[in-house]
Structure 1
Amino acid sequence: MTYEEWFIQQGKLHANVMKKLEDKTTDEVIEYFKFENMVKNEPDFCPLYKDNKKCHDMEDLNCYLCACPNFRFKMEGFEKQDGKTLFSVCNIKSRDGSQYVGEDYIHQNCSGCIVPHRAKYIKKNFNRNWFEVMKDVRS
């Protein structure tokens, strides 16, 4: 699956959950997206939910921003770096991020970063439209 395909699919899944929460306050929506609630209430939202597995090892994991607004991707790649195509980067250069490096490609690895999964960050960047929050990820 390409970044673009995942992006569109995840946005649609998010919109479907948000339809159920139209009458909820921002705080109630954020509460609903806690990992434990999502595993129980939205098992198809994430493939990891079927195994009750978190994508990030942290307490109070919130799945509202299952992707980070600071992530940037280009389908054709950004540039060459050491002869490899750089396909994705972290816009804030998080110290907890890293890179997957293959023979001819480099992809951003966000698994060590928890920035977008904290309720405080989500509330600061909240928008009921996931695509609006994520509008800058396509570079």
Structure 2
Amino acid sequence: MSYTDWFEAHGKKHAKIMEKLKHKSDDEVIEYFRFENMVKNEPDFCPLYKDNKKCHDYEKLNCYLCACPNFRFNDNGFRKQENRTLYSYCEIESKDGSQFISDTYIHQDCTGCIVPHKERYIKKNFSRNWFEVMNKVKKG
């Protein structure tokens, strides 16, 4: 699955949940997206939910910003680096991020970073439209 395919499909899943929550306050929406609640009430939102597994080792994981507004991707690649194509990177160069590097590609690895999963960060960047929050992610 390409980044674009995942991005579009995830945004649609997010919008369906938001439609159910349209009468909730912003704080109630953010609370709804807490990992424990999502596993119970939205099992199809994330493939990890079926195993009650978190994508990040963080006690207060919030899934509202599954995918990060600081992530950048281009399915065609940004540029070559030493015969490898860079397909994704972190705009803020998080010290907790890393890269998957092979002989031919480079992809951002966000598993060590919890920036978008903290409720303080979500409140600061909140929009009821996930695509609006994520508007800088897709490049090219």
**TM tier, smaller:** over 0.9
Which of structure 1's runs of 4+ aligned residues deviate more than 4 A?
none
Q: CA-to-partner distance for each residue in 1:17-72, whole Å, 9 max, x for gaps? A: 00110000110000000000000000000000000000000011000000000000
Q: Cα RMSD between the aligned structures?
A: 0.4
2:52 maps to 1:59: no
How far off its partner does 1:75 sit? Answer: 1.1
State the secondary structure of the residue aligned to 2:80: strand
**What is the CA distance between 1:96 and its match in structure 2?**
0.3
| Deviation of the 1:103 alpha carbon | 1.7
TM alignment of 1:47-86, pairs within 5 A: 47-86=47-86
The corresponding residue for 2:14 is 14
Could you tell me how far apart the structure 2 residues matched to 1:99 and 1:30 are?
29
Determine if contact 2:85/2:105 at 8 Å carries over to the other structure.
yes
Question: Where do residues 1-139 of structure 1 align in structure 2 (5 Å cutoff)?
Answer: 1-139=1-139
| 1:2-28 CA distance string (max 9 Å, x none) | 000000000000000001100001100
Q: Could you tell me the TM-score, scaled by structure 1's length?
A: 0.99
Amino acid at match of 2:72: R
Unaligned 5+ residue runs, structure 1?
none
Q: Secondary structure at the match of 1:5?
A: helix
Give the counterpart letter for 1:7 in structure 2.
F
- Percent of matched pairs sharing the same residue: 68
SS at 2:10 equivalent: helix
1:76-127 Cα distance to aligned partner (Å, 9 max, x none): 1011111100000000000000000012000000000000000000000000
With the length of structure 2 as denominator, give the TM-score of the two structures: 0.98
For structure 2, the residue ranges without an aligned partner over 5 or more in a row are none
Letter in 1 for 2:12: K
Partner-residue secondary structure (3-state), 1:72: strand
Distance 1:29 1:81 in 2: 41
Cα distance between partner residues in 2 of 1:23 and 1:121: 22
Asked whether the 8 Å contact 2:83–2:103 carries over to 1, the reply is no
Pairs aligned (count): 139
